[in-house]
């Protein structure tokens, strides 16, 4: 019997909804965005009828949403009706003001509760079928693995997870189920791959300073109860910024593997709830810890004074969406430089702009710079001010986020990775696989991925003049640049960053951990029988 905690809101919240619908013959949902969609689907599954969807303006909104009519709020009589406001908290003051004289009674839930509705609706649609077909009992001989993901936005860690699962899902003795934080593109991608997922709301244990942390106890209990019924053999956490996988593994008394993919503080400015040292020791206490680079492993060895159960496995990256280059591409003018990554201080886009200021005006005219990625508006504004002050506005282009990274890279010749502390550098590998000439800072894992002078060029982090010299070298050594890029493309694809090779290495760790836990349990059982 599957516990209802993964399908329904807590009893008090359910009673509020039920009482609200009982008190009104007509109930409208205000909002046609993501929260509105979550609410409509959840209410439909609870058999709570919605009279219509309200929006502030009909312009730009559909006439129907999930089969329900959409109305402009000020065009209909709402007196005596109930209105369930399903929009983000930041927009509610405006909506309350607009509905103030409507005669409608309003019901509001928190942002978290709407995200929970999205999770529960997803689970109700998919989990019963998963539970019915899930392999149970030792006779199946399958390794049942609960995979914990921190997000569903399909960024670096999610993409690496999908690369690994695309290889492992076809193994006869491997059955994964992914626990996602909320519902999003990752959920849909897993569904398309035939991999089940359970959506839940939980908090990260690593956050920006001052961000309050939510208690994950209820989520841990609900996930543990569900996975207990599924007979899980192993829990695997795909990133260091969440600890819920380890907590669930403790509750189930099953082994846990932790995959550390980031310098949380250096890469993102995150601090751990339990402090840097204690969190590192807790991660180290897992049955195995995987690192995406030697640089990252060394950081944890320094903090834990141990490397027990540590393994370095470079990420594999699929080439399918990338397009190789021709040597003739490097003859074009201007040469196009690309930086892919979040627009944040740690990614250091500003260093490239400062490097260009060491080039002559004639040299600047021989380059274009293309930034792909979204992030902090304040940081982007600072970068734009420097661009304007340097007279580079006609040489720099912002494109925002793109899911088609391969197409973006195909139009460029030089990839720059200026990050202050890249734990692995998936984007660096994408540059290589797309046949770009790579210039990277000497920080983090960059020196592991890029052999200076052979695959590309390394420059000292924080030295924009040195970066400018690398760019200048590209202008006057185009043939050599093209040859290095072509050679590096094949080397990265075939030998160093094979997705199958990475996935198989992870699989072997899983097998060893599960086998070790089974043997340890057998020894304990035999010992108790002898007593």
pLDDT digits over 469-507, tens only? Answer: 999 999 999 999 999 998 888 777 667 888 899 999 999
306 and 430 fall within a common domain = no
What pLDDT, on the 0 to 100 scale, is given for residue 64?
Answer: 93
The encoded tokens of residue 236 equal 């695997």
User: What mean pLDDT comes out for the span 509-517?
Assistant: 90
Burial (CB count <10 Å: 0-12, 13-18, 19+), residue 6? buried
Q: Quick one: average pLDDT of 329-358? A: 93
- Whether 95 and 138 map to the same domain: the answer is no
Residue 510 is assigned to a structural domain of this protein = no
Q: Model-level pTM?
A: 0.85
- Pair 343, 405 in one domain: yes
pLDDT of residue 527: 47
Same domain? 73 vs 195: no
Residue 335: per-residue pLDDT: 96
Mean pLDDT for 139-158 is 86
What are the backbone dihedrals phi and psi of residue 222, each rounded to the nearest 5 degrees, phi first?
-65, -45
Number of structural domains found in the chain: 3
Identify which has the larger pLDDT, 530 or 318. 318
Do 296 and 350 lie in one domain? The reply is no
Helices (H), 59-169: 92-99, 111-133, 156-168
The alpha carbon of residue 162 and the mean position of all alpha carbons in its chain are separated, in whole angstroms, by 11
Calculate the average pLDDT of the chain.
90
pLDDT at 154 over 90: no
**CATH code at position 303:** 3.40.50.2000
Q: 306 - beta bridge partners?
A: none
Instruction: Tell me, yes or no, whether 288 and 343 share the same domain.
Output: no
Residue 13 exposed, middle or buried by CB count within 10 Å (0-12, 13-18, 19+): middle
Contact 491, 308 (CB under 8 A): no
DSSP code for 4? G
Among 26-30, 218-222, 350-354, 367-371, name the one with the lowest average pLDDT: 218-222
Summarised one tens digit per residue, pLDDT across range 380-414 is: 999 999 999 999 999 999 999 887 888 889 899 99
Residue 390: give the domain boundaries: 327-496
Residue with tokens 């593997």: 257
Residues 231 and 367 in one domain: no
Give domain status of residue 526, yes or no. no
Verify that 444 and 347 share a domain, yes or no: yes
Please write the tens of the pLDDT for every residue from 41-77: 999 989 999 999 999 999 989 999 999 999 999 999 9
Regarding whether 256 and 184 lie in a shared domain, the answer is: yes
Residues 67 and 211 in one domain: no
Q: Does residue 128 lie within any of the structural domains? A: no
Flag whether 520 is in a domain: no
2 in Cβ contact with 226 (< 8 Å) = yes
For residue 340, tell me if it sits in a domain. Answer: yes
Domain co-membership, 162 together with 232: yes
Domain final residue, candidates 312, 339, 362? 312
Please check whether residues 109 and 174 belong to one and the same domain.
Answer: no
Q: In a 10 Å sphere around its CB, with 0-12 CB exposed, 13-18 middle and 19+ buried, how is residue 176 labelled? A: buried
- Tokens at 435, concatenated: 């046949």
Q: Is residue 531 part of a domain?
A: no
């Amino acid at each position: 019997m599957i516990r209802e905690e993964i399908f329904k809101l807590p009893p008090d919240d359910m009673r509020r909804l039920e009482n609200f619908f009982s008190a009104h013959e007509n109930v409208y949902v205000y909002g046609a965005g993501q929260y509105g969609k979550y609410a409509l689907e959840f209410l439909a599954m609870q058999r709570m009828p919605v009279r219509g969807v309200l929006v502030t303006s009909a312009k730009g909104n559909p006439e129907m949403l999930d089969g329900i009519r959409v109305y402009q709020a000020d065009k209909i009589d709402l007196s005596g009706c109930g209105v369930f406001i399903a929009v983000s908290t930041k927009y509610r003051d405006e909506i309350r003001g607009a509905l103030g004289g409507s005669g409608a009674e309003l019901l509001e839930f928190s942002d978290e509760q709407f995200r929970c509705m999205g999770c529960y609706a997803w689970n109700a649609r998919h989990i019963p079928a998963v539970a019915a077909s899930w392999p149970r009992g030792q006779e199946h001989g399958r390794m049942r693995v609960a995979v914990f993901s921190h997000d569903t936005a399909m960024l670096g860690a999610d993409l690496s997870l999908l690369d690994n699962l695309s290889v492992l899902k076809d193994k006869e003795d491997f059955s994964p189920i992914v626990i996602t934080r909320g519902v999003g593109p990752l959920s849909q991608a897993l569904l398309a791959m035939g991999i089940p997922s359970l959506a839940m709301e939980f908090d990260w244990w690593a956050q920006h300073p001052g961000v309050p942390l939510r208690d994950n106890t209820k989520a841990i209990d609900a996930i543990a109860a569900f996975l207990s019924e599924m007979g899980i053999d192993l829990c695997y956490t795909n990133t260091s910024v969440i600890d819920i996988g380890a907590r669930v593994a403790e509750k189930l008394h099953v082994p846990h593997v932790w995959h550390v993919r980031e310098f949380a503080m250096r890469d993102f400015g995150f601090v751990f709830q339990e402090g840097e040292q204690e969190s590192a020791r807790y991660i180290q206490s897992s049955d195995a810890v995987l690192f995406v680079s030697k640089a990252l492993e060394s950081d944890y060895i320094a903090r834990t004074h141990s490397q027990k159960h540590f393994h370095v496995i470079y990420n594999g990256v699929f080439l399918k969406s990338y397009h190789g280059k021709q040597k003739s591409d490097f003859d074009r003018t201007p040469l196009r430089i690309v930086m892919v990554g979040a627009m944040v201080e740690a990614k250091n886009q500003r260093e490239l702009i400062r490097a260009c200021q060491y080039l002559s005006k004639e040299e600047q005219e021989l380059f274009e710079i293309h930034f792909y990625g979204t992030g902090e508006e304040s940081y982007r504004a600072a970068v734009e001010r420097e661009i304007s002050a340097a007279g580079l506005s006609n040489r720099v282009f912002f494109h925002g986020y793109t899911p088609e990274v391969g197409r973006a890279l195909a139009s460029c010749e030089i990839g720059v990775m200026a990050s202050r502390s890249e734990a692995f550098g998936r984007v660096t590998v994408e540059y290589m696989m797309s046949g770009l000439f790579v210039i990277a800072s000497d920080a983090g894992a960059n020196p592991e991925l890029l052999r200076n002078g052979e695959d590309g060029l390394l420059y000292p982090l924080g030295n924009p003049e040195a970066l400018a010299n690398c760019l200048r070298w590209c202008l006057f050594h185009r043939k050599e640049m093209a040859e290095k890029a072509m050679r590096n493309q094949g080397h990265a694809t075939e030998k160093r960053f094979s997705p199958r090779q990475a996935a198989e290495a992870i699989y072997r760790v899983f097998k060893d951990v599960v086998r070790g836990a089974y043997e340890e349990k057998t020894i304990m059982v035999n010992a108790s029988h002898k007593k």
